[in-house]
Amino acid sequence: MRIRHTLITLLAAIGLVGAGVLADAAPAAAAALPNTVVPAPVSAVAGGSAFTLAPAATLTSDDAGVGTYLAGVLRASTGYALPLTVGATTPGSIALELSGAPGSTGPEGYQLTSGASGVVIQAQQPAGLFHGVQTLLQMLPSDVMSATVRPGPWTVPGGTVLDYPRFSYRGAMLDVARHFFTVAQVERYIDELALYKVNYLHLHLSDDQGWRIAVNSWPNLATYGGSTEVGGGAGGFYTQADYTAIVAYASSRFMTVVPEIDMPGHTNAALASYAPLNCNGVAPPLYTGTNVGFSSLCVSLPLTYTFIDQVVGELAALTPGPYLHIGGDEASSTSASDYTSFIGQVQQIVAAHGKAAVGWHDVTKAPLQPSTVAQFWGTTTTDTNVAAAAANGTKVVMSPANKAYLDMKYTHKTKLGQTWAGLIEVNTAYGWDPGAYLSGVTGSSVLGVEGPLWTETIVTSADIDTMAFPRLPALAELGWSPWSTHDVTAFDQRLAAQGPRWKAMGVSYYHSPQVPWPAGS
């Protein structure tokens, strides 16, 4: 106990006990997860001396982008010069190396070693360095996330972290159709997601209330179909240059954009923009309410497929990632046979443009191509169509609405959000195993996890932050961390360490009573 107390006193002296590092370590144990890191690493062994970043410290990196990212964060909060050398042969005080990583780290993992002389992060790919950098930032005091100079000291506990993801797909969805969000707002969310090793950003680009991406061959979609939003506001749309900027920004954070054009339902904005797309040739009015299920593309019309081919063609050409999301949810104005025929044709169009289709799990009612991915958004733990598809080889992204929907209220008192799938407190969002949740959809059938944020009630970046934090980190942890690390008490402690970081960054978050937030955060 005395050793433990001495250690805690030491850590308190360097300002880390507030953030919880090692505070719960067993007295003599070498192996202890740093209590500050979300998602929990595969292994974290404490040991050796701590490292303190000095004013004269230097940075080296084998990847210019990741080095520049780290330098940007550290220079802002420490005020140190931190000169960066790319491709140096002698390691700097913090060295990011694309060599020496154990094979187990794979394409996204890393090994971080911290000792008196410095910190070394080794990875096989730049993505691994980036994820290692996020871990390093979470091992530093929370003030490191401040945009203005703070006093420090900037100490990292000594030890070794070995880490890599459980699932290859760790996503977040932002609905930019119900309310439009600017490029800057999307980039802000990307930056927040990147802290938790999220690697897919799914953009819900079209719905009944708005069409948000310029399509050159069908210009009215954006200029007219994008001219409003839920509640009747002005809406907006991304030019193709805007979309390309988002894709590039996401890529700089090792995040792949998955664009969604929802169809055959959720298409009122498109049907309102072009009368000939309607079975009766009459364009309906724009829609600013929140009902679902009333619109459908005209499945029997040849023009429908010309339209989809051109829209998908332009979007696929702008999208470097492998996936294009076709929606497919809540097509209650489309007959079952029309739906099957439609999903069959759309999969072929998407494949012809070199992408794999993703669809909300409703698409499992139709025969699926081997490359098509289903995104489960149900509220039950059994779904015979999804299970049958999985048995047939379909990969599934898990977004159960009663666990993963970031637009559900936390409690009845939450001002924003909806309740149709239930109330989702942070421990509810954390309390399920994506690899064993849905009957018949286990193991290698599960591609990963995604937290969708629908925006019927979400208007500002502060609204996004309040609904995503702290639940998004819970989902990110389910996607990244091995199930063996799953422990709600330990998770809540590690989550608590994020509070002061969000405060330092100006991120609004829900102060869940389930989490022991440090005083003042």
| Residues belonging to the active site | 330
Q: What is the DSSP letter of 517?
A: P
**Closest to ligand NGO by CB, 249 or 342:** 342
In contact, 140 and 154? CB cutoff 8 Å = yes
Nearer to ligand NGO, 119 or 324 (CB): 324
Nearest residue to 446 via CA among 514, 502, 505, 400: 400
For ligand NGO, which is the closer residue by CB, 404 or 515?
404
Q: Which residues contact 469 (CB under 8 A, 6 or more apart)?
A: 192, 498, 502, 507, 508, 509, 510
* Pick 97 or 383: Cβ nearer ligand NGO: 383
Are β-strands 373-376 and 356-360 bridged in parallel, bridged antiparallel, or unpaired? parallel
342 binds ligand NGO (CB under 6 A): no
119: left (phi over 0), alpha (psi -120 to 50) or beta: beta
In this chain, which of 196, 238, 454, 509 binds ligand NGO, going by CB under 6 A?
A: 454
Say which DSSP state 518 is in. Answer: P
Give 152 or 452: the residue with its C-beta nearer to ligand NGO.
Answer: 452
Residues 121-160 that bind ligand NGO (CB under 6 A): none
Minimal distance in Å, beta carbon 447 to ligand NGO?
17
From 24, 187, 242, 330, residue interacting with ligand NGO (rule: CB under 6 A) = 330
Measured from the CB atom, the residue of 233 and 518 that comes closer to ligand NGO is 233
| Shortest separation between residue 491's beta carbon and ligand NGO, angstroms | 25
Binding mask 412-451 for ligand NGO (x = CB under 6 A): ------x---------------------------------
Q: How far is the CB of 210 from ligand NGO (least distance, A)?
A: 12
Q: How far is the CB of 382 from ligand NGO (least distance, A)?
A: 18
Q: In the chain, what is the straight-line distance between the N-terminal and C-terminal CA atoms, in Å? A: 29
What is the per-residue burial (b if ≥16 Cβ within 10 Å, else e) of 252-286?
bbbbbbbbbbbbbbbbbbbbbbbeebbeeeebeeb
How far apart are CB 361 and ligand NGO at their closest, in Å? 8
Q: Name the closest residue to ligand NGO (Cβ).
A: 454
Minimum Å gap between C-beta 489 and ligand NGO is 30
Name which of residues 277 to 306 contact ligand NGO (CB under 6 A).
Answer: 292
- Identity of residue 482: P
Closest contact distance (angstroms) between CB of 257 and ligand NGO is 18
Encoding tokens for residue 288? 């600013």
Whole-angstrom distance, CA of residue 519 vs CA of residue 499: 10
The residue among 204 and 355 lying less far from ligand NGO, judged by its C-beta, is 204
**Segment (H or E) for 467:** helix 461-468
Among 212, 223, 334, 220, smallest CA distance to 274 is for 220
Span 355-414, contacts to ligand NGO by CB under 6 A: 360, 377, 405, 407
Give backbone dihedrals phi and psi of 283, rounded to 5 degrees, phi first.
-75, 130
CA distance 32 to 494: 13
Measured CA to CA, the distance from residue 295 to residue 133 in angstroms comes to 46
Question: Could you give the CA distance from residue 512 to residue 323 in angstroms, rounded to a whole number?
Answer: 35
Where do contacts with ligand NGO occur on this chain (CB under 6 A)?
A: 292, 329-330, 360, 377, 405, 407, 418, 454, 456
